[in-house]
């Protein structure tokens, strides 16, 4: 559920909460393979959109406006790359695959680490470096970008993002 705020950090934190909720549901779903499959489909969609809008809007704009955060941004791109590879592999799997649950667990661990790092370290630096108006403008750009964001890893925008990450 999108918030009324257009502050970029608030928007991204809201998405993090939605992603965490899916992770918790997956971890509580026991042996229900059909439920796990549906939850992973939802995770893949949310993560594909989320990494797309961060890679296409948030990271490049912050990199331009706050050059001191270059290393943080490069690390975030790499963490997204790991998530992209895992979501691409999970997209091609079914809950019956031997490594489905293990791969999902690794995705959850990696993405959870990434979100915690952003929220505890990176977002405060961005908030300190950018004014309220800039964060609201960035939020508007994120909202606009989300409209055209790929919803699954096999869509062209997502594939381009994954290829760019590999070639960078």
Residue pLDDT, tens place only, 111-166: 999 999 999 999 999 999 999 999 999 999 999 999 989 888 876 665 555 555 54
* Alpha-helical runs (H) found in 29-122: 33-53, 59-65, 70-91, 100-117
Q: Which residue has the tokens 């999970």?
A: 90
Cα distance between residue 93 and residue 97, in whole Å: 6
Task: Give the CA angle between residues 16, 22, 24 to the nearest 5°.
Answer: 100
Cα distance between residue 28 and residue 158, in whole Å: 29
Q: Which helix (H) or strand (E) holds 26?
A: helix 8-28
Give the whole-number percent of the chain exceeding pLDDT 70.
89
Q: Which helix (H) or strand (E) holds 122?
A: none
Residue pLDDT, tens place only, 74-124: 999 999 889 999 999 999 999 999 999 999 999 999 999 999 999 999 999
């Amino acid at each position: 559920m999108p918030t009324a705020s257009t502050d970029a950090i608030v928007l991204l934190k809201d998405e993090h909460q939605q992603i965490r909720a899916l992770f918790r549901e997956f971890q509580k779903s026991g042996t229900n393979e059909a439920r796990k499959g549906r939850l992973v489909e939802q995770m893949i969609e949310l993560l594909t959109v989320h990494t797309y809008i961060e890679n296409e809007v948030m990271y490049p704009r912050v990199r331009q406006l706050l050059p001191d955060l270059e290393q943080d941004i490069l690390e975030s791109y790499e963490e997204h790359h790991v998530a992209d590879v895992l979501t691409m592999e999970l997209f091609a799997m079914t809950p019956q695959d031997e490594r489905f649950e293990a791969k999902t667990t690794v995705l959850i661990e990696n993405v959870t680490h990434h979100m915690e790092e952003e929220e505890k370290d990176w977002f405060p630096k961005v908030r300190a470096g950018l004014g309220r108006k800039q964060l609201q403008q960035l939020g508007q750009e994120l909202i606009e970008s989300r409209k055209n964001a790929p919803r699954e890893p096999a869509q062209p925008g997502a594939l381009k993002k994954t290829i760019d990450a590999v070639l960078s």
